């Protein structure tokens, strides 16, 4: 039996939602799942003990960052990423493709790969499909990603076609290295691009599926486009993906978006939103978002969210959390991160339970009901 396997447990009758389970060499993951982002082999401001306590079953780490520091060879020498990061549970690594564009300076894209300068010291590097897979295999993640060309928004149909074709060729090269050098533990996912063109999304999905990979990801979503376009693009891709393989939507989203995408048939999602917003004092609650720096919380003895079961809501007042934030105390980042991740992971638990019971529709209606009553965030924070 291969170490990686996706088990489909239930399908919602009234939507595309699925209840499933990923089996990996480092344990199982109940889906639909949210994966906290651990860019530099740490989910910012929370310990591995606490992540376990929150029920996180899988985390993501970034190939680009770990390639530059401390280096994949060092991590390999120390027994791989699971041991290095003291996280003996499933890990997914991205390919680094997105970061060389968004973080690397002076990057140039060629057929061979992407040449860029490190955001740390300006040193020049080239990341190719081959190197990306080699680095990911050295890190030893359970799920690794093909090296892709992330289509920006907006992009013309012609630009999107060029990006799609490059992604296809790079996927092929990624797969070759994975087949030749992989030990069988790492499952390679192909990435569906195609921008905001449903026909291109469908084609991209079909061509990825022909590779017969262990799973498929959808990239190039939440890159600045209106949300209606995102849903349309995701739905077009999902329609072409096989029922028995996991579907990973990269880099999304708000809790509402996670629920919406799960209803379209997405099994896995990741996003920096809960952790990054936490450090900026932007907190998710069952009644909508809160900005803890708001003066109206200064004397409020109530918890962040009276309906939340997390340790932060059980112990601390909004007044204290505001004081910590205003004082720029590290504990502000710690507690806010803990709460936001609990909110995300608990949303996924509720969602999975509802799908399993065949009651997604009624749960979703009830869950959504109160969430817009409180809208304290500036609008630029509600999307990514």
Binding site for a copy of itself (CB under 8 A): 40-42, 44-49, 69-70, 74, 77-79, 83-86, 298-299, 301, 311, 315-317, 319-320, 323-324, 326-327, 329-331, 333-335
Catalytic residue among 94, 149, 305, 346: 94
Minimum CB distance to a copy of itself smaller for 23 or for 44: 44
One-character DSSP codes across 30-54: EESEEEEB-TTSS-TT--HHHHHHH
Is the CB of residue 277 less than 8 Å from the CB of residue 283?
yes
SS3 248: strand
Report the relative pairing of strands 124-127 and 143-145 from DSSP bridges.
unpaired
The distance of closest approach from Cβ of residue 128 to a copy of itself in the complex, given in angstroms and rounded to an integer, is: 25
- 244 included as an active-site residue: no
Minimum CB distance to a copy of itself smaller for 125 or for 202: 125
The distance of closest approach from Cβ of residue 287 to a copy of itself in the complex, given in angstroms and rounded to an integer, is: 22
Our CA dihedral for 134, 142, 233, 36, rounded to 10 degrees, sits at: -110
Rounded CA-CA distance 177/174 in Å is 5
**Angstrom distances, CA of residue 16 to CA of 95, 182, 258, 329:** 28, 33, 13, 43
Residue 144 contacts by C-beta under 8 Å, 6 or more apart in sequence? 92, 93, 95, 133, 136, 137, 178, 186, 187, 188, 189
Looking up tokens 């609990």 gives 342
The distance of closest approach from Cβ of residue 84 to a copy of itself in the complex, given in angstroms and rounded to an integer, is: 6
The distance of closest approach from Cβ of residue 272 to a copy of itself in the complex, given in angstroms and rounded to an integer, is: 14
Catalytic residue among 12, 148, 270, 346: 270
User: Crossing angle for the helix pair 157-181 and 198-209, nearest 10 degrees?
Assistant: 20
SS3 297: helix
The distance of closest approach from Cβ of residue 48 to a copy of itself in the complex, given in angstroms and rounded to an integer, is: 7
Minimum CB distance to a copy of itself smaller for 49 or for 111: 49
The distance of closest approach from Cβ of residue 322 to a copy of itself in the complex, given in angstroms and rounded to an integer, is: 8
Minimum CB distance to a copy of itself smaller for 42 or for 382: 42
Handedness of CA 76, 78, 83, 84 (dihedral sign): negative
Minimum CB distance to a copy of itself smaller for 327 or for 379: 327
DSSP state of 296: G
Task: For residue 6, give the H/E element and its range.
Answer: strand 5-11
The distance of closest approach from Cβ of residue 326 to a copy of itself in the complex, given in angstroms and rounded to an integer, is: 7
Residue 191 contacts by C-beta under 8 Å, 6 or more apart in sequence? 95, 145, 146, 148, 167, 171, 208, 216, 217, 218, 219, 250
Write out the catalytic residue numbers.
94, 270
């Amino acid at each position: 039996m291969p170490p990686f396997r996706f088990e489909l447990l239930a399908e919602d009758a009234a939507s595309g939602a699925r209840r499933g389970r990923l089996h990996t060499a480092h344990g199982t993951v109940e889906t639909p799942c949210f994966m906290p982002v651990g860019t530099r082999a740490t989910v910012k401001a929370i310990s591995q003990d606490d992540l376990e306590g929150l029920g996180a079953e899988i985390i993501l780490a970034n190939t680009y960052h770990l390639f530059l520091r401390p280096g994949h060879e060092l991590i390999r020498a120390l027994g791989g990423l699971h041991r290095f990061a003291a996280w003996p549970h499933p890990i997914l690594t991205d390919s680094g493709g997105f970061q060389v564009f968004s973080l690397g300076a002076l990057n140039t894209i060629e057929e061979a790969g992407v040449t860029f300068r490190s955001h740390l010291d300006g040193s020049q590097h080239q990341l190719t499909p081959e190197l990306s897979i080699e680095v990911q295999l050295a890190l030893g993640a359970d799920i690794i990603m093909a090296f892709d060309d992330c289509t920006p928004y907006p992009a013309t149909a012609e630009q999107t076609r060029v990006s799609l074709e490059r992604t296809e060729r790079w996927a092929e090269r990624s797969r070759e290295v994975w087949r030749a050098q992989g030990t069988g533990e790492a499952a390679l996912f192909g990435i569906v691009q195609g921008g905001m063109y449903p026909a291109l999304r469908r084609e991209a999905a079909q061509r990825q599926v022909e590779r017969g990979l262990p799973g498929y990801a959808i990239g190039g979503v939440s890159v600045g486009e209106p949300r209606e376009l995102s849903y349309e693009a995701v739905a077009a891709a999902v329609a072409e993906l096989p029922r028995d393989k996991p579907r990973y939507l990269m880099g999304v989203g708000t809790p509402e978006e996670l629920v919406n995408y799960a209803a379209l048939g997405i099994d896995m999602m990741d996003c920096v939103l809960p952790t990054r917003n936490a450090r900026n004092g932007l907190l998710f609650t069952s009644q909508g978002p809160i900005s803890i720096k708001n003066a109206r919380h200064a004397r409020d003895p109530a918890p962040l969210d009276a309906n939340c079961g997390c340790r932060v809501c059980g112990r601390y007042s909004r007044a204290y959390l505001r004081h910590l934030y205003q004082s720029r105390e590290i504990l502000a980042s710690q507690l806010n991160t803990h709460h936001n991740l609990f909110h995300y992971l608990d949303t996924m638990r509720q969602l999975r339970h509802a799908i399993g019971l065949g009651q997604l529709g009624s749960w979703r209606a009830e869950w959504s009901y109160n969430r817009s009553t409180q809208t304290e965030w500036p609008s630029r924070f509600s999307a990514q």
